[in-house]
Copies of this chain bind each other. A is one copy, B any other.
C-alpha cells in the first residue's frame, strides 16, 4: 500500500525519463525539441510537477509516443482496457518475405519489447 509509488506524477515522470533515455537524448536536447526548459523537464521527470497539456503534447511529439499514451501513464485517463493492438503482430505473421522461423523470432522480440515497456510503469 505504498502511497508514493503510485503517485501519478512519479509514474509519468519515470516513463518520460525512460523514453528519453531510450532515444538517447539529453535533457537539453529534449528541451530543444520541445521548447520546454531543461530544468523543468528535469523536475517533471522526477515527479515534482504535473505538466500542462501543452507541455505533455510537445513531449509526446518529441519522443514519438502518442499523447494518449502519456495521458494514460499519467494515470489521468483510465486504461480503457486495450488488450493489445494486433496490427504489428498481424503484419509480421502475414509477411511472406519471412520464413516461419524468422517470424517467430521477430514476434518474440516484439513481445519482449512491449512487455518491458508495460512493466516500466511500476
Instruction: Tell me the A residues contacting B by CB distance below 8 Å.
Output: 18-19, 22-24, 50, 52-54, 56-57, 63-69, 71, 74, 76-77, 80, 85-88, 90-92, 94-103, 105-106, 109-110, 113-114, 117
Contacts and interface: CB of A to CB of B under 8 A. Distances in A.
Binding site of A, secondary structure by majority: helix, strand, loop or mixed? helix
Contacts of A96: 65-66, 68-69, 85
B106 A95 contact: no
Contacts of A24: 101
Given A71-B67, A76-B67, A109-B109, A92 B88 contact: yes
Contact of A77 (B65, B68, B95): B68
